[in-house]
Copies of this chain bind each other. A is one copy, B any other.
């Protein structure tokens, strides 16, 4: 089971040395996380791995356009890189797909390193593949490390936030969560991904080809809500994304969307019990949204009407959820964790190592 050496490595973050962080996958989100981590104190990036030929062998500082070397060269082989660098935690960001990330997470666990991952399906993996989830939990316990999937959504807005909002309810009949985003304020690849500027016909063809997928993770969020509330759902249904057509010409930094063309999309999903949609998630993202918000409507005793005015920016939110989970994952008892079973989310102060050391450890 947990060897003293592993315990020393992963459980003993001290304010006298920085937290050692590695990256598994150096894409857009990892780069943003790395930049945000460099703003913190008491943290050191010690390794990074990726499969892309144009990244392997280069200094991470160059890839992140930092105009300075970080002394961390992107490696191809995780085992070698991790055994040399001895990170306390791996920030994993390669894919949304549980089956794809499963062997990668296992590599980290085997090396005795805690993992926090952006993989959407890992946020509540029991829904997608219970066998994999249980195997990850068992393997993580065996190696004395903690694993968590998180992000802004899934991971917060459409699961943790509504679950938390049911805390003061004597009973809950129905939950509806809506995310209303102005995609014109987001990254250009994101605007492309949701079909901005296409004709309705082109949009439907892209849906057929699965090159437009809509928001990934609504089913994951529904399963987490149901687990937290003790609801045994009959079914979880995700509808195909629907195009939202511009009702007037709208300009973004990616495209000028003429009236009648696709401005963005709507993804809907339902958790169904006895024929009723007791969980309803609606993700709406298009150019020209005037009021951005995230809202939670709970029908119960009492009703709860919660709203985040202006919404939460997706990229910033995901970066923050990952970074803010580092202390919780390092201090958690070994195993696979999900956000609904972990301590409430919270921002981290500037000095990450000091905060981790002074926070209570679950294994004590």
**Taking beta carbons and an 8 Å cutoff, which residues of A are in contact with B?**
36, 39, 152, 156-157, 160-161, 163-172, 228-231, 300-310, 312-313, 316-317, 319-321, 323-324, 333, 339-351, 354-355, 358-360, 362
From residue A296, how far is it (CB to closest CB) to chain B in Å? 9
Contact across chains for B341 and A343 when beta carbons are under 8 A apart:
yes
Chain B hits for A333, CB < 8 A? 362
CA distance A89 to B24 in the complex (A): 45
From residue A359, how far is it (CB to closest CB) to chain B in Å? 8
CA distance A230 to B307 in the complex (A): 26
Complex A-B: 29 CB contacts under 8 Å:
A36-B170, A152-B168, A156-B168, A157-B168, A163-B345, A164-B346, A165-B308, A166-B345, A167-B320, A168-B316, A168-B317, A169-B320, A170-B316, A171-B350, A228-B346, A229-B346, A231-B349, A302-B312, A302-B313, A302-B317, A305-B308, A305-B309, A306-B306, A306-B307, A307-B307, A333-B362, A340-B343, A342-B343, A343-B344
From residue A120, how far is it (CB to closest CB) to chain B in Å? 16
CA distance A168 to B355 in the complex (A): 17
Contact across chains for B342 and A169 when beta carbons are under 8 A apart:
no
From residue A323, how far is it (CB to closest CB) to chain B in Å? 7
Contact across chains for B341 and A166 when beta carbons are under 8 A apart:
no
Contact across chains for B355 and A230 when beta carbons are under 8 A apart:
yes
Q: Given A168-B317, A169-B320, decide whether A344 and B349 contact each other with a Cβ distance below 8 A.
A: no
Contact across chains for A340 and B349 when beta carbons are under 8 A apart:
no
CA distance A292 to B175 in the complex (A): 22
Q: Which residue of B lies closest to A349 (CB)?
A: B230
Contact across chains for A167 and B342 when beta carbons are under 8 A apart:
no
